[in-house]
């Protein structure tokens, strides 16, 4: 059973912290998030298509950090099953975001998951 002390969860928390900091200062790119930052144009495009009522620049920065990491893991990294990625993203949104963040993250990722091709998974 996954716990908040799980090393993978702790690593994701570090990545979220770094992505959140990056959203305030794009010059602040730690080596941990370099691959995510490189893939941001495609990631942000997917988020924008999945949440057309919410322009990427209007999404809460912490929710955007969670979404960016999850979309990266779903479409680029491909190390974890989609269910695990989405579950982790929801947990991180509950931990860091407001009371509705997890629902927003779940909805956006569910929409994105429907558009991912078999090749990408």
Mean pLDDT for 98-113 is 94
| DSSP notation for 7-67 | HHHHHHHHHHHHHHHHHH-TT---GGGHHHHHTHHHHHHHHHHH-TTS-GGGS-HHHHHHH
Mean pLDDT for 13-26 is 94
Query: Is pLDDT at 91 greater than 80 in this prediction?
Result: yes
pLDDT at 2: 61
Query: Is pLDDT at 1 greater than 70 in this prediction?
Result: no
Residue 4: band (very low, low, confident or very high) from pLDDT cuts 50, 70, 90 = low
Query: Is pLDDT at 26 greater than 80 in this prediction?
Result: yes
Could you give all domains of the chain from N- to C-terminal order, each with its CATH number?
Answer: 7-115 (1.10.940.10)
pLDDT at 118: 52
């Amino acid at each position: 059973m996954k716990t908040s002390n799980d090393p993978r969860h702790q690593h994701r928390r570090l990545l979220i912290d770094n992505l959140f900091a990056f959203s305030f200062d794009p010059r602040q790119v730690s080596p941990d998030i370099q691959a995510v930052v490189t893939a941001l144009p495609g990631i942000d495009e997917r988020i924008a298509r999945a949440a057309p009522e919410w322009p990427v620049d209007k999404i809460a920065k912490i929710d955007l950090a969670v979404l960016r990491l999850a979309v990266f893991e779903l479409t680029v990294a491909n190390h974890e099953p989609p269910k695990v990625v989405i579950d982790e993203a929801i947990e991180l949104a509950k931990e860091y975001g407001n009371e509705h963040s997890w629902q927003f993250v779940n909805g956006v990722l569910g929409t994105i998951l429907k558009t991912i091709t078999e090749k990408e998974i």
